[in-house]
Amino acid sequence: MRDVRGRRIAMIFQEPATSLNAVMTVGRQIEEVLERHLKLSGDAARQRAISLLDAVGVPDAPRRVGEYPFQLSGGLKQRVMIAMALAAEPEILVADEPTTALDVTIQAQVLDLLKKLQAERGMAILLITHDLGIVAGMAARVAVMYAGEIVEIAGRDAFFSNPQHPYSRKLFESLPGAARRGAELAVIPGQVPPLNSEFHGCRFAERCEFAHTRCREESPGWTAVAGDHRVRCHWVEDQLKGKVATQTHARKSGDSKGAPDRQALAQSTDAALLTVKDLKVHFPIRKGVFKRVVAQVKAVDGVSLEVAAGKTLALVGESGCGKTTVGKAILQLIRPTAGEVIFDNVELTRLRGEALRARRREFQIIFQDPYASLNPRMRVEEILGEGMSALGIGAEKGSQQRRLYELLDQVGLPQSALARYPHEFSGGQRQRIAIARALAVEPRLIICDEPTSALDVSVQAQILNLLARLQRELGLAYLFITHNIAVVEYLAHEVAVMYLGRIVERGSAAEVLGSPKHPYTQALLSAVPSIEAESGRAVIKLEGELPSPVNPPAGCHFHPRCREARPECRVNYPGVSQLSPTHRVACWLYPQKA
């Protein structure tokens, strides 16, 4: 089996933080594969490891090859996993959510790389994903799985033009996007049944709006729809036999009844709850016996932004550009090198000790990796109650217990989850626990660091509806760090685009997403995968790699990858051009302030 694993069949795992060896450099972990299967060693193996890291978009690969997993962002760790899987050129690649942690530009590069390798080597790919946009661009055939069973299988075109199973239809209706902005996303009621239970009838029956008596008593067999399109569903079988009226599938825009009017909310709350001015976070690089500082990693290099009460600011950009560091610096989890963080008229960078702890209740964070952020030795009840107890919320035992039940209900988990440990849940369920923990202390600002990256689209819809409802009812402010542009289109009032430690474009969601001005923003949006049929949209492929924050390019940091770079772009960093009262861009293509 050791001859098969890695060489003939390789796998890319969903959670790189738990799949990579924490005490080995990433280069050494790739070299192990090369030594075992390709008989490469020494400098040859190291150079091959560097070229593999380059191929999957890891910036400054010669330096990164000697670093440990904890020194890399979530997206960079995922790229290392992909490099390891491709190292021995396998015949079959099992890709379990291979681009979950990647931004859309790197995602496009990685998927293009997988397509290229597949074409060159005849490699088969089993792609496990909840991103229907990726499925539309990558798959030849699609299988939809529910509760341990395949419920629909079809060619890609047949599936996307006419999904048949009620579960498949609900997945499409749950997708966020600009068309559903201001409306509640469709959700699937109830929970996926536990796989240790004995099933009678259709496994989806309890959540299906078309279920009838037969569905609960008899397990459906395969029904041929057309060609090789097959589905397990009594209702579809009855449709084809003419026993029920045929219903044509249409992608719904959502039921707007009772939904938040997000545009009205954007206009009604203008007071800045959070103001960040010229924030900088530099990490020293030390070398030698005396650990002298020889350089600085400029992770955040002069970021300014505002978040108003009751509004959502989406912060988007490539992995490693500093988005998460901005979030941590705002919460003072990382002390800024310079700049100001003003929350509710209080300068947080000047607070220490008890004065800072007293403000902790008002701002919380949902981390990207729930497995790493939840204590594996604590039950869910302890995880959710820890912050409440520390801050004196629900001091009475009964009051706290009721609050815990309420939190679980809000995030779609059963009450029995309180007695379980994090390892007993799926990745999506762990993320819901992390969201419940952030909500437990009733904050005013939540920094959401990829809170839906581990969730399938139906659960993602529940979480997005929940966040929108909480914002509407409680006036919560969100700094939403994400790679998912569809989520940004649906949830965000304003968008800030970040590149190599700086904001390059900022404006309302309609301005930035509808009429992007910076060449980087244009490339970012063009790379977003779509489930729609080919519409002639050109994908702007970025040349080269994300530069290292240790040694950023002179002038505009984006100029080495920009198709419209001018001579002045290579010399001076552009100032801010004000295109409208709310739309600003840092680019020499637009008139600069005097």
3-state secondary structure string, 379-414?
Answer: CHHHHHHHHHHHCCCCCCHHHHHHHHHHHHHHCCCC
Check residue 47 and give its pLDDT: 95
pLDDT tens track, the chain, 594 positions: 999 999 999 998 877 778 899 999 999 999 999 999 999 999 999 999 999 998 887 888 999 999 999 888 777 888 899 899 989 989 999 999 887 666 777 777 778 878 887 888 788 999 998 888 889 989 999 999 999 999 999 999 999 999 999 999 999 989 898 778 878 888 888 778 888 888 989 999 999 999 999 999 999 999 999 889 999 999 999 988 876 544 544 444 444 444 444 444 444 446 789 999 999 999 998 888 888 888 888 999 999 999 999 999 999 988 778 899 999 999 999 999 999 999 999 999 999 888 888 888 899 999 877 878 899 999 999 999 998 888 777 666 678 888 899 889 877 788 999 999 999 987 778 888 998 999 888 899 999 998 887 677 887 888 888 888 888 888 899 999 987 888 999 999 999 999 999 999 999 999 999 999 999 999 988 888 888 755 556 778 776 667 888 888 999 999 999 989 999 999 999 999 999 999 999 999 998 765
Asked if 422 and 431 count as a contact pair (C-beta separation under 8 A), the reply is no
Residues 116 and 230 reside in one and the same domain: no
Residues 83 and 167 reside in one and the same domain: no
Burial 437-459 (b: 16+ CB within 10 A, else e): bbbbbebbbbbbbbbbbbbbbbb
The token duo for 280 is 């900088």
Tally of CB atoms within 10 A around 300 = 30
DSSP state of 194: P
Residues 503 and 454 reside in one and the same domain: yes
Inside any domain, residue 133:
no
Tally of structural domains, the chain:
3
Residues 355 and 295 reside in one and the same domain: yes
Inside any domain, residue 505:
yes
Residues 45 and 149 reside in one and the same domain: no
Residues 42 and 149 reside in one and the same domain: no
Vertex 482: Cα angle to 478 and 488 (nearest 5): 70
Residues 71 and 158 reside in one and the same domain: no
Q: What's the whole-model pTM score?
A: 0.79
Q: Which residues contact 140 (CB under 8 A, 6 or more apart)?
A: 155, 156
Q: Is 582 exposed, middle or buried (0-12, 13-18, 19+ CB in 10 A)?
A: middle
Residues 459 and 361 reside in one and the same domain: yes
- Smallest Cα–Cα separation from 419: which of 372, 386, 384, 447? 384
CA 496 to chain centre: 16
Residues 472 and 565 reside in one and the same domain: yes
Check residue 399 and give its pLDDT: 82
Check residue 244 and give its pLDDT: 55
- Smallest Cα–Cα separation from 185: which of 201, 174, 177, 199? 174
Asked if 537 and 527 count as a contact pair (C-beta separation under 8 A), the reply is no
Inside any domain, residue 1:
no
Backbone φ, ψ for residue 229 (5° rounding): -85, 115
Alpha-carbon distance 547 to 554, whole Å? 11
Inside any domain, residue 593:
no
Q: For 449-482, give the secondary structure using H, E and C.
A: ECCCCCCCHHHHHHHHHHHHHHHHHHCCEEEEEC
The domain that holds 346 is classified in CATH as: 3.40.50.300
Alpha-carbon distance 32 to 38, whole Å? 10
Q: Is 363 helix (H, G, I), strand (E, B) or coil?
A: strand
Inside any domain, residue 247:
no
Residues 227 and 373 reside in one and the same domain: no
Residues 429 and 538 reside in one and the same domain: yes
Helix%, strand%, coil% for the chain, nearest 5: 40, 20, 40
Asked if 67 and 26 count as a contact pair (C-beta separation under 8 A), the reply is yes
Tally of CB atoms within 10 A around 179 = 14
Strand-pairing partners, residue 200, are none
Cα-only R_g, the chain = 25
Residues 306 and 228 reside in one and the same domain: no
Q: Which range of residues forms the domain containing residue 89? A: 9-128
Inside any domain, residue 181:
no
Give the tens place of pLDDT for each residue, 89-104.
899 999 998 876 667 7
Asked if 494 and 580 count as a contact pair (C-beta separation under 8 A), the reply is no
Asked if 34 and 40 count as a contact pair (C-beta separation under 8 A), the reply is yes
Asked if 274 and 330 count as a contact pair (C-beta separation under 8 A), the reply is yes
Inside any domain, residue 256:
no
Helical spans, DSSP H, in 122-203: 132-138, 156-161, 166-173
Asked if 299 and 279 count as a contact pair (C-beta separation under 8 A), the reply is no
Asked if 565 and 523 count as a contact pair (C-beta separation under 8 A), the reply is no
What are the CB-based long-range contacts (under 8 Å, 24+) for 108-117?
Answer: 108/527, 108/529, 108/539, 108/541, 109/56, 109/57, 109/541, 109/542, 110/56, 110/57, 110/79, 110/82, 111/137, 111/138, 112/541, 113/55, 113/56, 113/86, 114/138, 117/86, 117/89
Strand-pairing partners, residue 342, are 275, 347
Inside any domain, residue 253:
no
CA dist 217 to 3, 82, 199, 236, Å?
Answer: 46, 44, 10, 16
Alpha-carbon distance 91 to 75, whole Å? 25
Alpha-carbon distance 191 to 204, whole Å? 10
Tally of CB atoms within 10 A around 125 = 18
Helical spans, DSSP H, in 192-350: 213-217, 234-240, 262-268, 323-330
Check residue 287 and give its pLDDT: 87
Give the tens place of pLDDT for each residue, 91-144.
999 999 887 666 777 777 778 878 887 888 788 999 998 888 889 989 999 999
